Structures are given as C-alpha cells and as structure tokens.
Structure 1
Amino acid sequence: MCGGVSKDGTCSTKDDHVDPDSHKFMSDCNDQTYCTTATNGTCQTRQCRRDEFPFGYGPGDAVPPLCPRGSFCPDEGSGCQPLRSVGQSCQLSRDDQCAPPPNWQQLASSQNANGSLCLHSTCVFANAGLGQRCVIDDITYIDTGPDGQQHSNVVSRHNCQTPRFYCDPTYLQCFKAKAIASTCEIDQECTSVRNGPSLNCGGGVCSDPPGTPLQVAPWQYSVTVSCVITVMIAIVALLTLVHRRLRMKHYREVREYYDEQLSFRHTLAALHAVAAENTHQESIVRL
C-alpha cells in the first residue's frame, strides 16, 4: 500500500520504492496523490492514471485522466510523459512506457506492448529471432496466504519474437516454441498454433492453460447425437413393452373376472333348473 500522507502533506521522493515482495510502487503519499520533490516535497493530486479503474478511488471521487496516445503515466502519477526509446529507462514491467518499433504489427503479442518490452528497467524491442541472443528478466512475486505462509511466483519475460520463439535460459538464445503435447521444462517453451501462447508446462508436457475452452471434434458430436437417439429409441421401446405387458395383465384379470361371473351364473342357472324339475316331479306324484 502507499503511504498515508494526504494532499499538501510533507513527503520526499527519496522514499519512493518498489515493494520487494509484491513489486508495487510505494511512496509517502496516499493513492490519490504523488510527491513533488526529494526535499521539502508535498503530496499533490495525481495528474494522470494508467488504469481504467484506478486503485484507491471511491465511487464519488474524481479520477485523473488517462494519457493520450504516444505518452504514458508513470507509477507515481505525476503527469503524462512521452514514450521512451530503446535503451532508455522504464519502470518495472511497464512495457507501455516504451515506444513501439516500426514493424510493431509483426512483433505485437499478448506478451508485450505493441512489440516493446521493459526488461531490467530498460526499453527493448521483442524482435530477437531464431538463434539470436536474447535477454531474460525473471521477477519473483511473493504472496502471503491467510495462514501466514508465503508463496512465490516467478514471471519470466524475454525479448524473443513471441509466440513463435522463446529464450532458453541456459544458452540465452531464441529457440522455436514447442507445440502442445511436446516435452518441456519451463512454461515459456510452450505455445499452441490454435490458441496462441500456452505458457503451461505441466508434468513436463506442454498443455493448454487452465480455462481454455474445450474444442469438440465433429466426430464427437456425431457419436453424442447417435448415443442420444439410441437411448431415446431404447427408452420408447422399453416403455412400449412395459405398457403392453401391463395391458395384457389387466386384460387377463378382467377376462378371469368375467369367466368367474359366467361360471357362477351357469351354476345358478343349473341349480334353478334342478329345483324346478324337482318341484314338477313332486306335483306329478301328488296327482
């Protein structure tokens, strides 16, 4: 975090520094101000911002403007400055402070700013080709978890043409980037023709980074649709068979019921006939 000195408070630019763990810019002034000079300086309102939604501002606070094209806002927010040329100094990982090369369209990628890089606080172009010497800038970020345990993350950046090449840390030369499923040792070796840079060497094999959308092959769609149709047909056939068996069972139960009723009726009719015959014979005997 920045210091707690508010506007018009006393400060010194000698205290400006980068946090050794998070590499965040630190100063005596708060997030909305910057320090003017090294001796008898005061905190004044920031003159520019680098982010669309800067840190330290509330919903109703007035935010400083973004810098126009061809300039940049330094970390301290002291005002827009012209882009730096190759070899000039730049702030940590601020690729946007460096002027782009003439052929920036061919060199631009997600790993640089319009073909420019800030490596070891110096502006360079990301134009090193296959077999050429390259520069690597390793930055270690340390984060402290809720349990107090520290976790480190090393970000390695280089000036090879990405994503086609990577800078080998042993030979400091640009090598051709490796495709998905190739063996690897570090993340920067990996690339993917389909999805751009992979930068994910997991288990010694280049693989798509986490969160990459799954690409479903046409044959997989066909197999899935066929399985769904087959299951639907099987379900309909099974339901039809079950319904037919239930209907036949009900039919047999109804038929047995009516058979019993007819048998009972025939038995009653026979008893009635026998009784009538006995009555008739008794009448004849009396006569």
Structure 2
Amino acid sequence: MLEIFFGNLALLLLVRRCDAGSTGLGGVCSTSRDHLDSSTHKFVSDCSDVAYCSGTENGTCLARTCRRDEFPFGYSTPDAPPPLCLPGSFCPDEGNGCRTQVNPGGACQMNRDEQCARAVNWQDFSSPENFYGSICLHSICMYANATIGTPCIIDNTTYTDVGLNGQLYTTVVIRDNCHSPDLYCGQDSLLCEQSKSLGSPCQIDQECEERNCVVGICAVPPETPLRVAPWQYAVTAMCILGAMVATCLMLTLLHKRHRLLRYRELREYYMEQLRLRRSIIELHSAAATTTIFDTKQK
C-alpha cells in the first residue's frame, strides 16, 4: 500500500509541475517565475501553453505570436496556431515573437540547436545530432566541429519520467561539440576521440559510431533498416527455384503414378472382358457341338 501511495504521490507531483502554467489569456502573470521543469525540462510560465507573459511585474498573458512545432501543444482543431518563423529566425520557448538566429558564443535556450546560426561550411560537419552543424550546449551556441584530440564540451541532461507502477525512470542524454558521428567527447579526458565500431567495448551510447551501447558492446540500433546482402538474395532465389522444380517433379511423378494405376485398371477390365468373351464363345461352341452330335445319333 505504501508503494502505491508514494507512486501516486510522485505521479501527482510530476503532473502538477508540468501543468504549472494555467493562467489564460488576459490573466496577470510575471516572467520572474519562468523556469524549466526539473523533471522534463519543459519551459513553464504562469501562462497557459497558448500564451506568453508580457512583463516581469503585473504582466499580462497574451496570445503567442509564433510557434516552433508544426503541431503545437495546447491548440484544438478550430483554433488557428501562430505562424512558424522564417528561415534564419527562430521562435523562443516563450512564443513571444520570431528572433534572428544567434551567432556562436551567444546565448540559446536549452537544447534549442535551431536557435544557433549555421556556419558557412556547415555541410562539412552537419549530422542528425546537431542543427546544420550548430549545437546549443550549456545554453551557448557553438559549432559541432571539434576535431580529434582537441578539447571538447559535454552537456549532460537527465530526464525523469513516471512509469505505470509509479516508479520514477531517468534518462541521461549526453551531447558534445565533436564532429559526429565519427568522434565523441571522452568523459575523462574531455578530448575528442575516435568513435568505436560495432562489436567494440563501450560504456555509453555516445562512444559508438551507431550511438548504441548494449551490455557494454557497440551494437546496431534497433531502428536500423535490415540490409540484405547480395548472397542472401541469390540463396533465396535458388531456394525458390528449387522449391518450384521440386513441386513440378512431385506433381509429374504423382500424375504418372495415377496414369499407371488407371492404365492397370483399364487393362484388367479389358482382360476380364476378353476372358468373358472367350468363355461365352466356348460355351456357344460347346453347345453347338453337342447339338450336332445329338442330331447324328438320331
């Protein structure tokens, strides 16, 4: 009972923290209470998800003027969400208007890589782990182009979630500014090191080229598409052809066997008819011979 009670209590506290902003449009608010939720790191203010606060003291919750997601949270079907920002600009967590992307060294909001301006040669170090080669670590914009052996920056973020049984689960996300996925930032050396190939020993996902460390070994991520080798195609085709040939041969043999059985049945029938015909002829011949013999005796 105590486990259920504390589990429900933890779930209630987590939900209350996530839903802290409940003031609707036109309500009184203050930006001094803006913060990130300690568990989910979601931006929370006095206002609801469709509004932002206009001032630090005696502010007013106003309708948001921009959005960062295609389908923002908090808007129903009839409501028209605010527009997306144009390329080269971004919508902050507050949603109070589009802003120009920040150059390296400037401030950015947590894990908002798209707030950082891209480099001229962003194609050389862009990857799915950053935004056109730019990354936001410790709320500072920088390029993810650190080379092997050079100092690097690590940003560890812990997310907390509540399971169905009320137990708290934590997920740690590690990000760095090394050239990914070829390099990673060593936890101890704080230097960019070569990423490890499949089958190599590892401690965290970030050390592997595929960013997936399972039981201390770099493994293929579960979302990786299955790659079929050419020899597997050849073996599969040969098996299919072999099965088709075997099926045809089996059907041919069965057909021949049925024809042989039918031929034997017909042959036995014809032979029986011939024997019957001969018997009838012999009976007629015997009867005729007996009649002639009796006539001569008379």
Percentage identity across paired residues of the two chains: 50
- Counting only pairs closer than 5 Å after superposition, residues 79-118 of structure 1 correspond to structure 2 as 79-118=97-136
Unmatched 5+ stretches in structure 1: 192-197
For 1:284, the aligned partner's letter is: K
- The equivalent position to 1:189 in structure 2, one of 202, 207, 218, is 207
2:66 counterpart of 1:54: no
- 1:178-227 CA deviation, whole Å, 9 max, x = no partner? 22333322111122xxxxxx111223332321121222222222222122
Partner of residue 74, structure 1 = 92
Distance 2:296 2:118 in 1: 136
Partner of residue 230, structure 1 = 242
Partner of residue 242, structure 1 = 254
Partner of residue 289, structure 2 = 277
2:147 counterpart of 1:129: yes
Partner of residue 9, structure 2 = none
Secondary structure of residue in 1 paired with 2:175: strand
For 1:12, the aligned partner's letter is: S
- How many residue pairs match? The answer is 280
Deviates more, 1:89-98 or 1:275-284: 275-284
Distance 1:16 1:208 in 2: 40
For 2:239, the aligned partner's letter is: C
2:37 counterpart of 1:19: yes
Distance 1:163 1:50 in 2: 26
Distance 1:139 1:72 in 2: 22
Distance 1:70 1:240 in 2: 72
TM-score calculated relative to the size of structure 2: 0.88
Distance 2:32 2:269 in 1: 106
Distance 1:247 1:147 in 2: 70
Partner of residue 12, structure 2 = none
2:277 counterpart of 1:265: yes
TM-score calculated relative to the size of structure 1: 0.91
Secondary structure of residue in 2 paired with 1:31: coil
Secondary structure of residue in 1 paired with 2:68: coil
- 1:90-138 CA deviation, whole Å, 9 max, x = no partner? 2110111122234322222111112221111222221211111111111
- Per the TM alignment, residue 30 of structure 1 is displaced from its structure 2 partner at its CA by 1.4
2:172 counterpart of 1:154: yes
- Per the TM alignment, residue 161 of structure 1 is displaced from its structure 2 partner at its CA by 1.1
- Per the TM alignment, residue 43 of structure 1 is displaced from its structure 2 partner at its CA by 0.7
Partner of residue 195, structure 1 = none
RMSD: 1.6
- Per the TM alignment, residue 15 of structure 1 is displaced from its structure 2 partner at its CA by 2.4
Secondary structure of residue in 2 paired with 1:273: helix
Secondary structure of residue in 2 paired with 1:143: strand
2:192 counterpart of 1:174: yes
- Per the TM alignment, residue 34 of structure 1 is displaced from its structure 2 partner at its CA by 0.8
Secondary structure of residue in 2 paired with 1:229: helix
Partner of residue 7, structure 2 = none
Partner of residue 209, structure 1 = 221
Partner of residue 5, structure 2 = none
